[in-house]
Structure 1
Amino acid sequence: MLNEVANGAAGAGLLIGIMLVGLVAWFFITRASVRANEQIRLLEALLDEQKRQNQLLIKLVGARQVPAEDNNETDFIRLIPER
């Protein structure tokens, strides 16, 4: 009888241990997921801000653009691809 109680307690202890390991793993996976989602949100906000800044810059350059002289330097600049 004592042997059966010990086996039951060991099984319950093993089950509790597995549950604790599962909860700890779940906590860290959820935490990493939340951080990744926050970083994605911040990167998207940064991208939107950069797009707005680029549009403003294009407007400013377009408003102040001086006719370029016809020389080889401007032709070379046109060959560089835009990223």
Structure 2
Amino acid sequence: MNEVLNSGALSFASLAVSVVVLIVGLVLWFFINRASSRTNEQIELLEALLDQQKRQNALLRRLCEANEPEKVAEPAALTARQEDDDIIRLVAER
């Protein structure tokens, strides 16, 4: 047993395990970093889209306000007509 420990096989095995752990760690780091950068790009695109939609909504509101027909005096005449109808309804029919 002492021959195995002294021969350097143990140090070679620990070195091999260290290299495998290092390679696995680098591969994991690569994929995590890649996913993180893609996520950051998507967030930037979504923020730009949100900003553009806000500008479009503001423009649409201004266009709608500019194209609204002006209110005329018809509601006042309509209210007077309804009051006349109410008076007629009060008179009993014979």
Q: Please tell me the TM-score bracket, short chain as reference.
A: 0.7 to 0.9
Aligned counterpart for 1:36 among listed residues 39, 46, 56 = 39
Instruction: Tell me which amino acid in the other structure corresponds to 1:65.
Output: E
Number of residues paired by the alignment? 70
Deviation of residue 67 (structure 1)? 4.7
Asked if 1:16 is matched to 2:19, the reply is yes
Q: Does 1:59 align with 2:62?
A: yes
Question: How does 1:42-81 map onto structure 2 within 5 Å?
Answer: 42-67=45-70
Sequence identity (%): 50
The answer to which structure, 1 or 2, has the higher relative contact order (CA under 8 A, 6+ apart) is: 1
CA distance in 2, matches of 1:52, 1:41: 17
Structure 1: where are the runs of 5+ without partners?
71-83
Q: What value does the CA root-mean-square deviation take over the aligned residues? A: 1.9
Name the larger-Rg structure: 2
Give the alignment's TM-score, normalised by structure 2.
Answer: 0.68
Deviations 1:14-59 (A, max 9, x none): 0000010001001111000000000000000000000000010000
